[in-house]
A and B are shown apart, each in its own frame.
Chain A
Amino acid sequence: MSSGDPAQPRRVDRAGIIIAALLAALAAVLVWDARGLQSAAMYGMGPEAMPVVIASGLALLAIGNFIDALRGNLPARESTDPVPVFLILVGLALLIAIIGFGGGFILATSALFVTTSAAFGRRAVLVDSVIALVMSTLIYLAFDRLLTLSLPAGPLERLL
């Protein structure tokens, strides 16, 4: 792959190149996965046909995105602040870990609430924790008792 002609008037968009590469990789995964499938159909198309069609589409789109990136055709982007994004992702990771280790709904969603709130600029972690615990307990009770939807139970839920 040539990474752009120096004579090009507009700058090469590096993010666009990465997007194109990811699409090409996805197409490769599709083809690799489809090779393991057996065509059981007597007539017509088997299960492996559609993945190959979609992979061809993805490969074409990878080329299209690559050309756009070389021409610098991507829309302008605003600067972003990575810290809040990271905080929310930490919150989601905590939620998944707490649910995974049987910590229950209330603790898991409270952790997400507090980190998200902090990501949006709040610094009152204690106050937010109390709000989160009360709110998620109420949600738990409403869903568990009123709608009889089962939410995962942990130590806190067993006390209720």
Chain B
Amino acid sequence: MMDTFAALAHGMAVAIQPMNLLYALIGVFLGTAVGVLPGIGPALTVALLLPVTYKLDPGGSLIMFAGIYYGGMYGGSTTAILINTPGESASMATALEGNKMAKAGRGGPALATSAIGSFVAGTIATIGLAFLAPWLVDFAVRFGPEDYFALMCVAFVTVSATFGDSPVRGLTSLFIGLTLGLVGIDKLTGQARLAFGVPELLDGVEVTTLAVGLFAVGEALYVASRRHHTEEKLEPVRGSLWMTKEDWKRSWKPWLRGTMFGFPIGALPAGGAEIPTFLSYSTEKRLTKHPEEFGKGAIEGVAGPEAANNASAAGTLVPLLTLGLPTSATAAMMLAGFQQYGLNPGPLLFAERPDLVWGLIASLFIANVMLLVLNLPLVGLWVRLLAIPQPWLYAGILVFATMGTIAAKPSVVELSMLAGFGVLGFLMRRFDFPIAPVVVGLILGPIAESQLRRALAISLGDPMTLLQSPISATLLGVALIALLAPFVLKGLGRFKANED
């Protein structure tokens, strides 16, 4: 307990150095500016801005990342409220009531309750992260390679199968990602896999190339292909920005309840903010004293899901920092950011670079405060960004997206891969395959393989080692249940439907 306070104070001392404050400010600003653009969620925001941080020192750039991460979340909710195009599924619940509020001329209070709610939830959840992380690190130190492998199996299953619409399609996405993870030189034996004699493929598939291709290029192709379907309408922010006393009274409980949903679910290796946001939405709908307003713009329906969204974002940092386990596309991009500097999050990083980890956690608090102070007064600026005509907006997004790849590896092969992943992203959107499992598969696949091979090398090739460790056996059991549950439940559902 006291250790956490001391570590946090130390981190705060790192984070409030003037240069680091500046990095946090730049990150928050860039994150909000990019996140507010329609169709760009936090994961893509981080992916697009990854090359910008390439030349900074690790400490500064991780602090900038924290700002980009939280800024992207804030920006996303602004878009959801004002034009009803949530950049990612986590903002869908916010868009439900928030856009109705904006249509009814209450856009200001909707933005305010989401900003303040995000601040409250983000702060509470970051405190949770600070206290939960050391405890988990103590636990994770005892993990052997077989336990890590089992843990990753849990993450694979929960991210792709358990919580999606269709386990078959989610697992298909995951296996595409795992296949891409195989490409390149095998680290243990130096043999090339799936490189087909192309030298650029020996280094493997770059995570940023995949993410930017799937998210940015894929999204642009998809939106272009169905442009004739929808006309986006930007709601102007009319009236007061400030919340009335009544608004405050109706908001604070949903904020806290949303945090209680978001943080634990985000911290479990279950991934995704959709579940906590929709849980929060339905809870607020049930508890509200103004049920007649739901569906027409109830402030509780913005305050709760927004808080849940931010709390779960901080929650996903728990497995990411303590176990190196990304459970959402955004967390996967954060992990790519760490790997850019050869850093591997996990218990070892807490022991070896406490300044870095605690500096990052402390700067999350600072980023949160900055966002609260910056966002409400600057909302007019963000709204103007939303008014960029669609052709220029997507043309600019594509230029920015390809720029990252051009800056990192200006080769024809790399750019062709970017375009190819763009087509893949387009097809996956069209046929309703989830995208996040591909990114998680690419990042975690190689790590899972090397942990499994290490475990088997230690046990002299005896696969029973996976079941002899109690941690590993338990986790593999959880993974198996999580894998089979949706199929069994679906079967039960069909059975019931036949009975009726």
Q: Is the interface of A mostly helix, strand, loop or mixed?
A: helix
Closest 5 A/B residue pairs (Cβ): A44-B456, A84-B224, A120-B391, A116-B395, A47-B186
CB distance from A134 to the nearest CB of B (A): 12
A81 to B430, CA, bound (A): 12
Interface of B is mostly: helix
Partner pick for B395 among A16, A51, A114, CB 8 A cutoff: A114
| 18 other A-B residue contacts (CB within 8 Å) besides A74-B431, A99-B410 | A15-B431, A44-B456, A47-B193, A50-B452, A61-B171, A61-B172, A68-B166, A74-B432, A84-B224, A85-B221, A85-B224, A92-B415, A95-B402, A95-B415, A116-B394, A128-B395, A143-B407, A151-B410
Residues B406 and A152 in contact, CB atoms below 8 Å apart: yes
Q: Can you list 22 residue pairs at the A/B interface with Cβ under 8 Å? A: A30-B182, A33-B196, A37-B191, A43-B456, A51-B193, A54-B179, A58-B175, A65-B169, A65-B172, A80-B225, A80-B226, A81-B228, A85-B224, A87-B224, A96-B415, A99-B415, A109-B406, A112-B402, A120-B224, A120-B227, A147-B52, A149-B55
The answer to whether the Cβ of B468 comes within 8 Å of any Cβ in the partner chain is: no
Q: Which residues of the partner chain B approach A9 to less than 8 Å between Cβ atoms?
A: none
B141 at the A interface (CB under 8 A)? no
Closest approach, in angstroms, between the C-beta of A123 and any C-beta of chain B? 10
**Chain B: interface residue count, which band?**
35 or more
Name the B residues within 8 Å of A75 (CB-CB): 165, 431-432
Which residues of chain A come closer than 8 Å to B416, judged between CB atoms? 96
| B51 part of interface (Cβ distance < 8 Å) | yes
Interface residues of B (CB under 8 A from A): 51-52, 54-55, 165-166, 168-169, 171-172, 175-176, 178-179, 182, 186, 188-189, 191, 193-194, 196, 217, 220-221, 224-229, 389-392, 394-396, 398-399, 402-403, 406-407, 410, 412, 415-416, 418-419, 422-423, 426, 430-432, 449, 452-453, 455-457, 459-461
Contacts A45-B453, A113-B398 known; A54 to B224 CB distance under 8 Å? no
Nearest CB on B from A94, distance (A): 11
Complex: chain B residue closest to A76, CB-CB: B432
Instruction: Give the interface centre of A61, A88, A93, A118 by most chain B CB atoms within 10 Å.
Output: A88
